[in-house]
Chain A
């Protein structure tokens, strides 16, 4: 099975090619091919996953690798290949499965769309991108698939491109992540230049890392720092873009302009997970320099983003927008966890989050499908009309809010416990303290905005006249049920071993598999208690505001009054879009206009034309000189000759006596000369 790993991304790619080139007109066949291909990838992936669990792949031993020489690089060859270790194996567990659920769901959701086939082609390519990224055995190959995902996000976010908002959102997503990618590209190329390699097994070899950690790079007035730190920070730039971390977070909320299954793909199984995966994959590089600035940066960005995004989520009315900010916030948890070295917890949260966030997005899609609106202020009372959606959405909410024993509780708690554990060791003025504080506050807000969402959407009475909400078709509800099962139970894979009864019973298999070599964080009852209190507290406050007295039609959000101007700031997302518009975008446009004017109006072309005019003037001058002097001289000579000819002609009279006279005169002159001389 492991030898077939390379086929995992190939099937969705073939599906993309087949649909685009051949089956585009046949909708049923197209979606069938897409689902079939991802199903094959899923089976293969789980085969690989279970085989690597059983075979303990990469646990203390070398990862499984398979590669072929691909590119000639001077006297060497650059190999491309696949790599299976616990991190990629656990991703293979999650990605194709969640993709499959989303694909199946899309059959119902996209039903009747004129570009139905094309949609399945794009999401197949998207799945190919993520799967390729996960199995890649070198950074270059990872980057290639990373960018292919960027392309897919562009195409899918702007899928309904007739809508100006969708078309702008797609462009924004591509360009914003491209900024991060430029950093990543620079980091990757510098790493390549420094080590001559990009294969993970080689660049993360202890002796290479040792060298990178101990050679300094001089950055001029910025001072100097170890290569490893610089490279890690540059590569992190890519993750900031892809995982929508502050300050490149602005694209993700707009990304929900795409069809809802795409939001689920982007927010759960693919795209944003890729950023966290990248940092996890390069974790040895990030930790090569102990307590270096790179880790502080990662921890700060993550923790700040987690809190910052959760405050915005509180004041959004669009059901998908709330979830979008919640994704940014949850990704912040993972990034922060990586920044404080809590590798296992971060990966664990990445996996559980993918399941429950996919569930929530698909659930919100079902709500939109059933109710015909995205505005939570127009919803209400949907639990009666959409019981399956409601039940599964509730499971997702509990998982996200961190209510025990749902999946998110265990993974989030592990991050908090790690942060708490480190800060008790390092003291309250350390990074981990702020990480813990920020994340704990964010946990409360998370529970609150999810509670708000549940009460606004499913409780009370419909706030829209003539709403005829209905449950979604089976192709949509079945994936919800499957994902809900995972969202509920997956956490048990990572229960701390000291946890009463359960811990002993389950034995924390997740940590044993993924975290081989990392010490398990000891269970901390206090942290767990605080985190449960935050979750329940947040839900309780939400109930106080929205559940006790459900909103009536036309009644404004009580938060508007309670928060005052703060509400406006949150609702406008701290004005980041406006800020970027006024600064970077304007600057770029201004620069482009200035350069063009420089080229065309002010300097370059005028100089060229001036040179041209000077040439013409010079040749006119030459022409005048030619006519006046050169030609003058020539004509002058001719005139002189002509005049002389005319003069001499006078002598040719044709009369003999004249000639005789001339001859006589000549003889006389010669005689005189001979006598005198």
Chain B
């Protein structure tokens, strides 16, 4: 048997956490660097995974399948395709950076924090590799609890409210998802995702069982839309993000939101294409509202962290718009298949880009908060001259976030809009408004209020520029923003092969 790379990637963190329990909690330094070292293993493996994934062959690779609960047809079934490979890498990268950053900034209850973080990593990997609904569900829930604790214990002032809100919101979605999974099980007789996909694409049950399939579709929709989050299920996000510790926000925005979007790509679109297509206008409307409304709400924020939290609503709206366009294309025949593939490429790329860009922005919020102990945009100004390095990194990240060509964020927006303009142009026209508002809140609210204008020497004269560990945390992210901004082809190739195949199958 081949080396079970996916299993190793998934379970190394949790095994590391269990072993880590043996380290006495007074030895904080050991625990910190031990955790960082543990997280490096999946990072290296995820790079190997990316390199060795055979994109020309496509499809699910590195598959492992063994019976788990045979009486129920539950299997331990994992595998990756072009969409999940970059997500696994993103997860590994952001987790390592988060642990590295936390090693310098977390000083209370160190042992619990780092071990929970590792447990969280396993949950996230698991969702991206699972090809069995029960496995998917279990990992989905595994990720939930550590994040709840991270917010609730290491969070800001209002952390308990935020943590509970986050937990209950997600749990509501989970329950809906569980019911939908059971519906699929009773129709397919197995919990296997691929089997369900194949089966449903043959029988196409939507028109015969309109109500039942619609309910299942909306149940999944609710679960994933809460996680994405899409308007109007988004209000847990500003609270959770604002209260979470810096690394928690990074993981939350960088990866946990992607779990929802990934659910749409892996489950909803392949299994319920007709239903998704039928309800695409509704999903598209929610997506466009998320984009424009999210951006407008950002403009009204004065807490830097809350602003960036809301920007996630807007940016993840592009993912939803791409999905809606791809779904809507199914009734239009082969003429728009390429457009649909581009819309999905844009959506998938936006997932990755949002991970590195918004993840980066949350790190940068942490940088200033550690120094100034405030995030109130009113009180800054003129920091550009005092903290040139910080300004430079923030500017690059901010411009990437507003979709400036030459930086990664542009391509995802471009491809989403490219697909949308060809398939559902009206939505795209409204969505383009978001581009203007996004530029407004990034440049006006963040860059101008923090960095430009006169400098308050009296209050901020003692601020220091970024430390080495903060720079090291940001470097990989900035490199990816620039690299994929100029030449997105390496990652786009993976997505494109997967989405083109997917759209081909669905037609």
Residues on A facing B (Cβ under 8 Å): 20, 70-76, 140, 143-148, 150-151, 154, 158, 161-162, 164, 167, 171, 174-175, 178-179, 181-182, 185-186, 189-190, 192-193, 196, 588-589, 591-593, 595-596, 599-600, 604-605, 608, 612, 615
Contacts and interface: CB of A to CB of B under 8 A. Distances in A.
B299 interface: yes
Contacts of A20: 392
Interface-central residue, A171, A175, A591, A592, by most chain B CB under 10 Å: A592
B418 interface: yes
B385 A162 contact: yes
Contacts of A599: 235, 293, 297
Interface string B390-417: 0010000001000011100011001101
A74 B339 contact: yes
B452 interface: yes
B113 interface: no
A142 B499 CA distance: 27
Contact of A182 (B300, B432, B489): B432
Interface in B171-193: none
B381 to A, nearest CB: 9
A161 B418 contact: no
Sorted nearest first, the 9 A-B pairs with minimum C-beta distance are A74-B338, A193-B422, A592-B299, A596-B300, A144-B405, A74-B341, A167-B452, A72-B496, A161-B452
Given A72-B496, A74-B500, A171-B443, A182 B436 contact: yes
B165 interface: yes
Contact of A71 (B234, B439, B488): B488
Contacts of B298: 592
Given A74-B342, A74-B496, A182-B435, 6 more contacts: A72-B345, A72-B489, A161-B384, A161-B451, A193-B425, A595-B293
A171 B453 contact: no
Query: In which size bucket is the chain B interface?
Result: 35 or more
A588 B440 contact: yes
Nearest to A185: B432
B428 A186 contact: yes
Contacts of B417: 185, 189
Interface string B219-239: 000000000000010111000
Contact of B300 (A70, A196, A593): A593
Contacts of B293: 595, 599
Contacts of A192: 418, 421-422
Nearest to B301: A596
B493 A72 contact: yes
A140 B168 CA distance: 45
Nearest to A192: B418
A150 B439 CA distance: 12
Dominant secondary structure at the B interface: helix
Nearest to B405: A144
Contacts of A72: 345, 489, 492-493, 496-497
Contact of A592 (B296, B404, B439): B296
B437 A588 contact: yes
A661 B389 CA distance: 104
B61 interface: no
Counting chain B CB atoms within 10 Å of each CB, the highest count among A74, A162, A186, A596 belongs to A74
28 contacts: A73-B341, A73-B418, A74-B337, A74-B341, A74-B503, A140-B414, A144-B406, A150-B404, A151-B404, A161-B453, A162-B385, A162-B452, A164-B454, A171-B448, A182-B432, A182-B433, A185-B417, A190-B421, A193-B421, A588-B296, A593-B300, A595-B293, A595-B296, A599-B293, A599-B297, A600-B235, A608-B236, A612-B165
Contacts of B399: 151
B339 to A, nearest CB: 7
Contacts of A604: 232, 234-235
B207 interface: no
B436 A193 contact: no
A596 B306 CA distance: 12
Contacts of B500: 74-75
A596 B496 contact: no
Contact of B338 (A76, A589, A595, A605): A76
Given A151-B404, A175-B443, A179-B436, A73 B342 contact: yes
Given A167-B448, A167-B452, A178 B300 contact: no
Contact of A178 (B338, B385, B439): B439
Given A164-B454, A167-B453, A612-B168, A71 B489 contact: yes
Contact of A148 (B384, B405, B448): B405
Interface string B235-259: 1100000000000000000000000
A145 B418 CA distance: 19
Contacts of B104: none
B33 interface: no
A75 B448 CA distance: 43
B382 interface: yes
Contacts of A145: 405
Contacts of A595: 293, 296-297, 300
Contact of B421 (A140, A186, A593): A186
B168 A73 contact: no
B384 to A, nearest CB: 6
Contact of A147 (B165, B406, B487): B406
A453 B12 CA distance: 75
A365 to B, nearest CB: 23
Interface in B326-379: 337-342, 345
Interface string B487-507: 111001100110110010000
Contacts of B384: 161
A649 B505 CA distance: 79
Nearest to A72: B496
B418 A193 contact: yes
B138 interface: no
A591 B297 CA distance: 9
Contacts of B429: 186
A589 B165 contact: no
B439 A175 contact: yes
Nearest to B422: A193
B338 A73 contact: yes
A91 to B, nearest CB: 20
B421 A592 contact: no
Given A73-B496, A144-B405, A190-B421, A591 B435 contact: no
A471 B435 CA distance: 47
B154 interface: no
A186 B435 CA distance: 11
Nearest to A17: B482
Contacts of B437: 588, 592
A150 B407 CA distance: 14
A164 B492 contact: no
Contacts of A76: 338
A145 B406 CA distance: 8
Contacts of B415: 73
Contacts of A175: 436, 439-440, 443-444
B67 to A, nearest CB: 38
B455 interface: yes
B235 A71 contact: no
B78 to A, nearest CB: 27
A193 B453 contact: no
Nearest to A143: B405
A181 B403 CA distance: 12
Nearest to B298: A592
B443 to A, nearest CB: 6
B404 A147 contact: yes
B406 A158 contact: no
- By CB atoms of chain B within 10 A, which of A145, A167, A588, A615 has the most? A167
A146 B404 CA distance: 10
A70 B486 CA distance: 10
B492 to A, nearest CB: 6
B421 A71 contact: no
Nearest to B455: A162
Given A75-B500, A151-B399, A162-B455, A189 B418 contact: yes
B406 A71 contact: no
